[in-house]
Structure 1
Amino acid sequence: MLTELLTGWMTHQRWFAGKGRPIDGLAVDSDVELAPGLRHLIVSVRQNGARDRYQILLGCCESDLPDRLRHAQIGDGLYDAAHDADLTGVLLEAMSDGRDIGPLRFRHLEGVHIDSSPRSLVLGAEQSNTSLVYGETYICKLFRRLIPGVNPELEIVNALALRKAAHIAQPYGWIETDLDGEPTTLAMTQEFLSNANDGWALALASVRDLYASMEESASDAGGDFSAESFRLGTATAEVHHEMAAAFPTGVMDAAEVRRMVDDQRRKLEQAVAEVPELAEHAHVAEEAYRRVAAVAHDVPVQRVHGDYHLGQVMRTPTDWIVLDFEGEPGQPLAERRALSSPLRDVAGMLRSFDYAARHLLADHDAAEDLLPRAVEWAELNRSSFLAGYSAGGGRLRGEDAVLLRSLELAKAVYEVVYEARNRPSWLPIPLAAFGH
């Protein structure tokens, strides 16, 4: 039976959010034939009284499954067709044509052309989504876990593209349906940056060069990254400017700032209760929160990236490109779409520089000797990023520095809990943030 096969198969998929909890029930809510041998399923999974929905491209094979698809097998004659390049071309074709197939709507951005001839390959190492790379031209992201509503990434990137904004990957098309009466994003297709390098990888290369270099200063080592950090800061400010122009903006008054601080304090208390090592540092965060409540008022807010770090940016030969505008994974859609201070993104990137500098020390034999160099690298690139952000028109005034500090420490509190749960050897990285 299909539901039984899916129940056993889904629990082993990286994108399944309910790992470690028994499935109480599974039902197929929607089953649409996209092409011969290819069905699109929306599946409801019930666990502990809650329901999550997922989408699956189901391949149906009457003969023996080819060896190239054995790893994607679900059951006899059934497999995850996201891995079948012979079938996935229909996604591009339908987007190009603007088709409606049953309740599924395939759309493309006005004025763009989609070439449906490239064959697809599943991009590895993803968790919450599955991305299909078509040749060297497109990347189609399938949102496996479905949240009713328009995905923030589609909303933001399409709006910025209409403004001809720089620093984004060109969007081409998307797939949607209605869930709970709301248009809901199933997938989106953008330009594939085939000749770009991941920001995290570039930063780590710089850190490794510094650790291996005989030079005493991070700015003298062969892999100096500070010029790129400056350019990235400028690009970040320009993206924030475009987002403010494309979407509504607002102001957070003193009462709203106090409510934000109260929420930060509550999360700090919860973190200390879970991670005792944080207790001796808690006063640093408490003081930063107190200062924000005392001086911050009329804080400008707008749409922001929401999960900004070095892994969300790519360096092409000519520019920095910002990706993954979905917001923080696991948060409600309304929260991910809510207006916030753009300094939240700045704080996320500052924390990312600390991680890039320090995480290689977690199991390093010479960690104690290299720590001063890690601190220097992080400070150099943090200051370069902030200088670039200011040069690009980003707001960094006196009281903004107070707000930025509190947002950075709030992010570090979140990281402390995450590392304690998942990577205890990395716990010193976020704890170090309280000593800056």
Structure 2
Amino acid sequence: MSEAASTHVALAKSTRKSARNSTTKHGPRPGAPADGALLPSLAPLLHEWLPRQRWFAGKGAPVTGFSLVSATEMLPVDGTGPGLIHLLVQVQQPSLSARPADDCYQLLLGVRQSLPPRLASALIGGVTQGPLAGRTVYDGLHDPRLTGLLLERFRRPGSLGPLRFERTAPVPAGLAPRVLDTEQSNSSLVYGDAYILKIFRRVFPGTNPDLELPLALTREGCGRVPAPVAWFEAATREPLTLGVLQPFLRGARDGWQLALAALAEGRDFVPEARALGRATAEVHTALATALPTPSLQGPQTTHLVARMKRRLEAAAQAVPDLVPYVPGLHTSFDAVTALGHQGRNWAAQRIHGDLHLGQTLRADDGFWSLIDFEGEPSRPLPERRRPQPPVRDVAGMLRSFDYAARSHHPWNAEWAARCRAAYCEGYAEASGADPRSEPELLRAHETDKAVYEVLYEARHRPGWLPVPMAAIHRLATAPTA
């Protein structure tokens, strides 16, 4: 069974259990809307609204139906003020090659008699039937009255229906919430410039790495990652991580913005890249201490390369521009396979999984932090939680320097080369191991990342497609290390 299919089966089992537990012979579970007509009444609105959301993963396939995983009334819908309904909804679609057919999404629906103008952009629609007939529903994350309620839940941890709230430290009251408009695969709220709450839109059975890994790093005393203060999850057969509250690094700027600013001003970025390499190595070292570090031997290496090749073949089917380069790209993967057959082993561990300049923050004093440990959201959760060679994170950052350089006109190839070298030097200084000492493995992971970028840009930002295609040309024509 494929990883995508196994994830889908696990979620389907969780869904069936949640459905059994949602009502009993004594009536509905506390905090759950009692009317079974709720989801059918919302379905026409969700059918139109969901595919337009940036975080909806099923673009390109029709929505054929919905099934309810859980529904929890977090704030009563009584007509005197806004109500808040938490939904976990499975969206039914024809199967796509890279993901299970049915994804589960987290929705926080605000409910009002009428929507004030300031919330017009959050509108989902007017309900014409069912328990919410005559009311307007909207994305509740845009309503400060409702998002303030989420913070209160963290202040008083416990359960509400299937939802479970946990915290590791006291959470202050009265922090004004605001939603960030820059998120893509998830949504984030900032409370009083003190905390940031990431809401996972597409959820999977099992603990999300964006909670699991920062908790592990905190236990190791690694200060490169903001420590989770609170989180909430759904208590299905396997817990579904729904959101994580962390300190908000006020005034910090992400590495992508800093790199583009340096390019625009004609400045070098070498000191920053070297410091970022040291920060990455510190995180990897702490993760290797906190969690298991298996060795990639022959069979594991074969499976690793096979997954890379499958991703390449799938991307080539979706992006015809990639087809002429497939034979050359295969040489990157075959070089790793050959070393594995010769008995070469590589260390594997938990890693960031989607590391690039936009996943880093630099404080005014020059201190770098790494954020967003969710991994690539398009990949199944079991794959994102699998130990992997740390060079995969390094390859992601090297690709990010190239992206920054190519987004500037004229393209500054030397700038990117200096950043790539400085990053690896900083990594070696902190870890004792230079990623460039394993050229075959580094090239294979950089190739795999470029293939992912090609597919992403073709689907979401066609104007950016030439950036990863330039890397594809370089990697496909480079001599084998």
Pick the TM interval, shorter chain.
0.7 to 0.9
The AA in structure 1 aligned to 2:56 is F
Partners of 1:424 and 1:71 lie apart in 2 by 26
Give % identity. Answer: 46
User: For each residue in 1:128-169, what CA deviation from the matched residue of structure 2 results, as whole angstroms up to 9, or x when unmatched?
Assistant: 211111110111111112211111110011111122212111
Q: Is the 8 A contact 2:305 2:336 kept in 1?
A: yes
State the 1:72 CA deviation: 1.5
> Do residues 429 (structure 1) and 464 (structure 2) align?
no
The AA in structure 2 aligned to 1:70 is A
Partners of 1:22 and 1:320 lie apart in 2 by 42
State the number of aligned residues: 410
> Do residues 316 (structure 1) and 367 (structure 2) align?
no
Partners of 1:227 and 1:188 lie apart in 2 by 32
> Do residues 205 (structure 1) and 255 (structure 2) align?
no
- The aligned counterpart of 1:240 is 284
Distance 1:27-1:198 versus aligned 2 partners, 3 A rule: same
- The aligned counterpart of 1:89 is 148
- The aligned counterpart of 1:400 is 438
Partners of 1:119 and 1:269 lie apart in 2 by 48
Q: Is the 8 A contact 1:89 1:116 kept in 2?
A: no
- The aligned counterpart of 2:55 is 15
The AA in structure 2 aligned to 1:344 is R
Q: Is the 8 A contact 1:3 1:27 kept in 2?
A: no
Equivalent position to 1:357, from 360, 381, 405:
405
Equivalent position to 2:352, from 292, 305, 310:
305
Equivalent position to 1:41, from 87, 96, 104:
87
State the 1:409 CA deviation: 1.9
- The aligned counterpart of 2:243 is 187
- The aligned counterpart of 2:200 is 143
- Which moved further from structure 2: 162-171 or 328-337? 162-171
Q: Is the 8 A contact 1:3 1:28 kept in 2?
A: no
The AA in structure 2 aligned to 1:176 is E
User: For each residue in 1:299-327, what CA deviation from the matched residue of structure 2 results, as whole angstroms up to 9, or x when unmatched?
Assistant: 00000111111111111123111011011
State the 1:127 CA deviation: 2.3
Partners of 1:330 and 1:404 lie apart in 2 by 22
The AA in structure 2 aligned to 1:11 is P
Q: What residue ranges of structure 1 are gaps of 5+ in the alignment?
A: 211-222, 362-369
Q: What residue ranges of structure 2 are gaps of 5+ in the alignment?
A: 1-40, 77-82, 96-100, 127-134
What's the TM-score once normalised by structure 2's chain length?
0.80
> Do residues 164 (structure 1) and 221 (structure 2) align?
yes
Equivalent position to 1:114, from 158, 168, 171:
171
Equivalent position to 1:229, from 273, 294, 310:
273
State the 1:405 CA deviation: 1.7
- The aligned counterpart of 1:30 is 70
Q: Is the 8 A contact 1:130 1:143 kept in 2?
A: yes
Partners of 2:306 and 2:196 lie apart in 1 by 41
Equivalent position to 1:104, from 158, 163, 169:
163
User: For each residue in 1:183-209, what CA deviation from the matched residue of structure 2 results, as whole angstroms up to 9, or x when unmatched?
Assistant: 111111111112100111111111122
Partners of 2:315 and 2:105 lie apart in 1 by 31
Q: Is the 8 A contact 1:58 1:78 kept in 2?
A: yes
